[in-house]
Structure 1
Amino acid sequence: MTFTSKTDPRFLMTTLRIFSCQVYRSMPVNRDGLLVLFILASALATSTEWCTSTRAADDLLSLEAQAMKSAVARIAPSVLRIETFGNQQRAGSPLTNSRITSGVAVSEEGHILSSAFQFAGKPSSILVTLPTGKRVAAQIVARDQSRMLVMLKVTTEEKLSVPEIVPRADMRVGQWTLAVGKTFDKDLPNRSVGILSALNRIWGKAIQTDAKISPANYGGPLIDIEGRTLGILVPMSPQQQTEVAGAEWYDSGIGFAVPLADMLPYLEQLKRGEDLKPGLLGISLKAGDIYSLPAEIAAVQPKSPAYQANLAVGDVIVDVDKQPVSRQVQLRHALGRHYAGDSVSLTVQRGEERVTVSLKLTDKLDPYIHPFLGLLPARLRNSNERGIEIRYVYANSPAAKIGLRPGDRLLAIAEKNINVPDDVYTILGSFEPGSEFAISVIKSGRPETIALSTSKLPTQIPKELPLVPPLETAADNPAITGLIPIKLPEEPNECVALVPDSYKAGVLHGLVVWLHPSGQFNQERLVKRWQRHCNTRHLILLMPQAAKQKRWVPTEVDYVRKAIDEIRKSYRIDDTRIVVHGHQAGGVLAYMLAFSQRDLIRGVATVDAEVPRRLNVPANAPLQRLAVYAASDSESPRAARAAAALKRLRDLQYPVTTRQSKGYLSEMQVDELVRWIDTLDRL
């Protein structure tokens, strides 16, 4: 091996390894049967030997520090200081001060890759400081909407210094890493030292380090101790996909970088100005623990790549591009790193045979519209009878048009037997409004098979709904009712639940989670408002409070989720009627909770609240229904923004019901809201 100089990181690394061996050999070794000799030898060791060992250790630390310094010096010309101006903040008001971030040169001609974090506000101008100190204007050429990167381009006669990239195969967990940025000084890079903690994080899109990662080095490189680039530093979260998701972990020892080796095949596409978007397949998997369940398809969205490749409900995906898949989490990792336009090969287990299909992932699926039969299921099930009893039939619905009535029973849909509402939701998840299929029913006491054509979920609320009759038999161990404190040991928040005196474990209860306005929590008023409804409509009211009564903070979404999970451990909750309901700031948090916890929440009801502008609103999902109820004052300063946000939800085909209200809801409007909640299990 040839070294350019004694400060070459490779020379220092070689020397470092030699000194590591010397230090190791100078230390006593404990072997079986030699413990006494070891103690005597240690006691008789001369001061000269001790000093030699200490000097070797000091030299080791010195070489280690020098290697890191040289690694940073090697990467420094490739790390560029970026200033953004005119970033948009809330309501479109510009920030007067600039923001500083870092980027990495990926071509000599002026292309720079950076984190999208500082570009979320769509800056009006961007300046880049070149290695010579000259500041030049830059333009955003393209964005990576999956890994949250931006490609910039500067026009300059200077050739940029492109770093050496570490191949994926050379990355090792436990190796030294240095997070580098040029935020504080335009000439001297800032650095943070750590190790490579993991190789496949955030669904295969990132590597992880315990070096301190923050806005001070976002966009800069994560390098190895030889000064080679491992990846681009970014905030990331497995739960959300926005430019700022994961930023709350800054300086926590949990940091992420997008491997630059993974980006090499896509750099030319970005340079051409083509955005990179997540690749979508168009399937829903069977609900449950993603870490233990196989990747069994529960629904195939019409017109999706999966639909066009003839994938079917019940298929189990067993490999992706010849990589074995045995659990759902492995499928998410295998597909998570792919972009729209990528071709993938899937092998599925279909009965006794294996079928391999090739398909091209898409960047956009048509907004999914839930089909509707037009009925409400009975909630008290007789285990001795087949199918689902009909509790209520919507006027002018598909069910009404074929003559179904309350008391009739639904036995099968599209030749698939059903016994519980979840069976129906799963079957309907592969259809759309206008789909026609046969249903088997017991109608007026006689079995029939009838053709039915579905419509779309309604947004109107029935003026009357029959009450679910109370359960006559009491449980052997009756549950505790009344006001129940819900305390999570690790959380400072207070929380109480109102469990109606009518509660019986044999009846599924809906859950209403009340999120109070800033500084306004009145338990007595809430109990008075909701107690009658909880008793008659089989509801439990959960009342969590903000840790600081004056306001909710976004991170309290996690606390509210924990409180919901806690109440579900003790009481029988109807998974189809879990609703978050909030007023003003509580309504904003309700939207955040509903769209981040799609596996759990089935309804969001807000009063005088708007959807946060930068909230990532996911696509409407076939097997994760979510209905929206929004009341607002047309004269409120928030009205226009709230209306625009609701239009966005309608465009995504969420069923949205709107009402006008000055202040909180009237008593009649609360009655109507309760009926809306009562319809969330509609089929």
Structure 2
Amino acid sequence: MMRFDRPGNVAIRTICAAGLLFALPASMPIAAQEEFAVLRRAAEQVAPSVVQIETIGGRERVGDLFIAAGPSTGVVVSDRGLIVTSLFSIVHEPTSILVRLPNGNRSPARIVSRDLARNLVLLECPDAAGLPVPIAAPESELQVGQFAVAVGRVHDAERINTSVGIVSALDRVWGKAIQTDAKISPSNYGGALVDLQGRVIGIPVPISPQSEEQLAGFEWYDSGIGFVIPFETILGHLDRWSVKDLRPGKLGVTPKASDNFTEPLEVAAVGRLSPAGVVGLMPGDRIVEIDGRPIRRFPDLKHALGRRYAGETIVGVIERQGERMSFETELAAEIEPFRVAALGIEPAAVSDPAEAGIAGVVVERIDDGGPVAALGINAGDRIVEIAGAAIASIDELATALAPFAPGENVEIGWTAAIDGPAGTIRRGTATLAPLAATLPPPPIETAEVIDPETSCELKELRLEQFPETCDVVVPNRFAPDGSFALVVVVGAPGKVDAEKLRERWGVAAVRDGLIVVAPHSTDERRWQRTDVERIATQIGQAIIDYGIDPRRVAIVGEGPGAALAALIATDASRTVRGLALIGSGLPPGVSLPENEPLRRLSIGLWLATDVADTDPVRQLVKANEERGIAIAAIPSPKPGEPETLREIGRWTQSLDRH
């Protein structure tokens, strides 16, 4: 179906006619008829280069996502029979691939190579040799607002299907994609987005700025947010791509900032054998330029590297102690992931007012058998040095530990509580451990009986820019002193029953010091991708309103809310530090970001006891631990029961462990 809307004009809907999914209503105004004719000519021009792709066999599911059987679309990129399509078309690993040519003939095809940076695959079909290669629209000529037609060939091999929209943004997904509001879905993934001259702007694919996974971005289909890979870029890399797979180019630096979108880019850690490491980049360096492009913040670096493939060379400039130095290095396909090295402590959330202004990090709890336990450090002691560098805050502690890997030794300096904050600095060496996402030990229970109705107040979080609100459970004993953690609960869509929310979470909120926030959905029937940004903004406001330490913020997903919770936890804004999923594993299509010293993500999976101790779950945990992600599968006899909520509360309070 095609839809064309323009101010002062009528909407045009198309039906199948004469080999194209276009029809011309007799009552259409003359101006609209002329515009319609232009759109039809544009689609007709590219039609001989658009083929249908069928797959046979393969997996029915990828992760938890069911892959429906059905054709997809491809575009000819070489008169030697090379065809480009979306990697989504073969994500289920089919045993055979067939191409239906514009004349209706079916011919076998084979996979030549993949572009894992842009979610594309290159096929070879000898019988497609000689088909015309469409002209690429120069990226330099593209303008936001220009008309575009998405062309596919799925409903009928002899007819193309179309969707009309505009180019809505350029330089998206870290410089790799162009955005359109034309309907982009599995029916035209791998097809062509063309301009009014019939030149190909790009190839539609599911892609996301938050993830490099093959299924990333799939959840946006038919949402008015679609992405295409510039056709000019594809043709420019074709010689290299036809020989081997293309992979994203990686530099191997980890940023320091707790907010990568507002704070200057300073390097916190460098992979020792990474492209950055081999040319001598060091923690504390500021990257100020890549290939002549100014770099101020981490997103600038992501954009500068986003277009580049592994094996390509970049030239950069760093600033070190006020002096500028240039470097040249070849980007790599794989970088050893950043692994958080931990001392095995939980910092105190609130310092003694009498000790305000005194440098160091006060220890509230020590892991039994943890790295510092053997040194004689006790709760109440204050860590003041790491590897000879003075430590004044928790952020400085995280930054000082960033250059070290688990298993390495580090010298620690601390003052004992019994000596007072100005006591003699004691020193010792500890072997660092991987950051854990396991449950902290349960507190000593009291005989206090907590009635949620009388112990907690119900409030509402409302922002002017959003009609949707959040219900908030606030314990009567709440004090804005930084001791309370924030738990955001995402369950079934629709309006939250505030009384039931308080009844369910009230005891955990009081005992574990929680502010509990439950967002309402925009659509009562389902959560939408647009809810991610809105809820992330509401979380940020709750942090401000209740004086929450941003290190102790978790989002809890249960049932239909699990997928949305995972998307919010992995969103670029990174407003949460913990993802707790009740009764389910990680949703399909969600890719976990690499950890950073000041923007870590821990994951807790509360699973039924007989599920938590199974090979698939153990493999999931192991695979993510190898990537440096702190993750734990926590057996729960009855996930979702009050004891589980208490455990999630304790776990959230421990998210600032180091």
Flag whether TM exceeds 0.5 (same fold).
Answer: yes
Offset of residue 354 of structure 1: 0.9
Does residue 319 in structure 1 map to residue 289 in structure 2?
yes
Partner of residue 17, structure 2: none
Moved more, 189-198 or 202-211: 189-198
**Quick check: 1:607–1:665 contact (8 Å CA) kept in 2?**
yes
AA at the equivalent of 1:306? A
Report the Cα distance in structure 2 between the residues aligned to 1:461 and 1:653, rounded to whole angstroms. 18
Moved more, 151-160 or 343-352: 151-160
Judged with a 3 Å threshold, the aligned counterparts in structure 2 of structure 1 residues 344 and 629 are, in CA distance, closer, same or farther, namely same
AA at the equivalent of 1:380? V
Report the Cα distance in structure 2 between the residues aligned to 1:515 and 1:639, rounded to whole angstroms. 26
CA-based RMSD? 3.7
Given candidates 425, 432, 456, the residue that maps to 2:434 is 456
**Quick check: 1:488–1:563 contact (8 Å CA) kept in 2?**
yes
Given candidates 229, 235, 238, the residue that maps to 1:267 is 238
Could you say which structure has the larger radius of gyration? 1
Partner of residue 424, structure 2: 446
Partner of residue 391, structure 2: 418
Partner of residue 482, structure 1: 457
1:296-355, CA deviations, whole angstroms, 9 ceiling, x for partnerless residues? 223334443222322122322121112233343322211111122222111111122111
Report the Cα distance in structure 1 between the residues aligned to 2:242 and 2:66, rounded to whole angstroms. 29
**Quick check: 1:221–1:232 contact (8 Å CA) kept in 2?**
yes
The 5 A counterparts of 1:44-59 are none
Judged with a 3 Å threshold, the aligned counterparts in structure 2 of structure 1 residues 85 and 578 are, in CA distance, closer, same or farther, namely same
Judged with a 3 Å threshold, the aligned counterparts in structure 2 of structure 1 residues 178 and 523 are, in CA distance, closer, same or farther, namely closer
Judged with a 3 Å threshold, the aligned counterparts in structure 2 of structure 1 residues 187 and 309 are, in CA distance, closer, same or farther, namely same
Partner of residue 319, structure 2: 349
Moved more, 606-615 or 86-95: 86-95
**Quick check: 1:429–1:623 contact (8 Å CA) kept in 2?**
no
**Quick check: 2:487–2:516 contact (8 Å CA) kept in 1?**
yes
Judged with a 3 Å threshold, the aligned counterparts in structure 2 of structure 1 residues 642 and 521 are, in CA distance, closer, same or farther, namely farther
Higher RCO, Cα 8 Å, sep 6+: 2
**Quick check: 1:183–1:216 contact (8 Å CA) kept in 2?**
yes
Offset of residue 113 of structure 1: 0.5
Offset of residue 637 of structure 1: 11
Report the Cα distance in structure 1 between the residues aligned to 2:620 and 2:319, rounded to whole angstroms. 42
Report the Cα distance in structure 2 between the residues aligned to 1:553 and 1:157, rounded to whole angstroms. 40
Given candidates 190, 199, 207, the residue that maps to 1:219 is 190
AA at the equivalent of 1:148? N
Q: Describe the SS at the equivalent of 2:127.
A: coil
**Quick check: 1:240–1:596 contact (8 Å CA) kept in 2?**
no
Partner of residue 561, structure 1: 536
The 5 A counterparts of 1:9-20 are none
Offset of residue 271 of structure 1: 2.1
Offset of residue 89 of structure 1: 4.1
Moved more, 319-328 or 545-554: 545-554
Given candidates 67, 70, 76, the residue that maps to 1:99 is 70
Does residue 280 in structure 1 map to residue 250 in structure 2?
yes
AA at the equivalent of 1:619? E
Partner of residue 165, structure 1: 136
AA at the equivalent of 1:660? P
TM-score under structure 1 length normalisation: 0.79
Judged with a 3 Å threshold, the aligned counterparts in structure 2 of structure 1 residues 611 and 460 are, in CA distance, closer, same or farther, namely closer
Partner of residue 303, structure 2: 333
Q: How many residues align?
A: 613
Partner of residue 680, structure 1: 655
1:10-42, CA deviations, whole angstroms, 9 ceiling, x for partnerless residues? xxxxxxxxxxxxxxxxxxxxxxxxxxxxxxxxx
**Quick check: 1:343–1:358 contact (8 Å CA) kept in 2?**
yes
The 5 A counterparts of 1:11-30 are none
Partner of residue 341, structure 2: 371
Report the Cα distance in structure 2 between the residues aligned to 1:285 and 1:209, rounded to whole angstroms. 31
Structure 1 residue runs without a partner (length 5+): 1-57, 468-479
**Quick check: 1:299–1:623 contact (8 Å CA) kept in 2?**
no
Judged with a 3 Å threshold, the aligned counterparts in structure 2 of structure 1 residues 366 and 155 are, in CA distance, closer, same or farther, namely same
Structure 2 residue runs without a partner (length 5+): 1-28, 446-454
**Quick check: 2:216–2:591 contact (8 Å CA) kept in 1?**
no
1:492-533, CA deviations, whole angstroms, 9 ceiling, x for partnerless residues? 766321111121122342112233468997755653554344
AA at the equivalent of 2:581? T
Offset of residue 577 of structure 1: 1.4
Aligned-pair identity in percent equals 35
Moved more, 341-350 or 541-550: 541-550
Partner of residue 126, structure 2: 155
**Quick check: 1:209–1:253 contact (8 Å CA) kept in 2?**
yes
Does residue 434 in structure 1 map to residue 403 in structure 2?
no
**Quick check: 2:496–2:519 contact (8 Å CA) kept in 1?**
no
Given candidates 548, 559, 582, the residue that maps to 1:607 is 582
Offset of residue 178 of structure 1: 3.5
Offset of residue 638 of structure 1: 11
Judged with a 3 Å threshold, the aligned counterparts in structure 2 of structure 1 residues 261 and 602 are, in CA distance, closer, same or farther, namely same
Partner of residue 102, structure 2: 131
**Quick check: 1:377–1:392 contact (8 Å CA) kept in 2?**
yes
Offset of residue 154 of structure 1: 1.3
The 5 A counterparts of 1:154-193 are 154-156=125-127, 158-173=129-144, 177-193=148-164
Report the Cα distance in structure 2 between the residues aligned to 1:72 and 1:287, rounded to whole angstroms. 47
AA at the equivalent of 1:119? I
The 5 A counterparts of 1:219-258 are 219-247=190-218, 249-250=220-221, 254-258=225-229
1:386-425, CA deviations, whole angstroms, 9 ceiling, x for partnerless residues? 2222222333322222222223222222333322211111
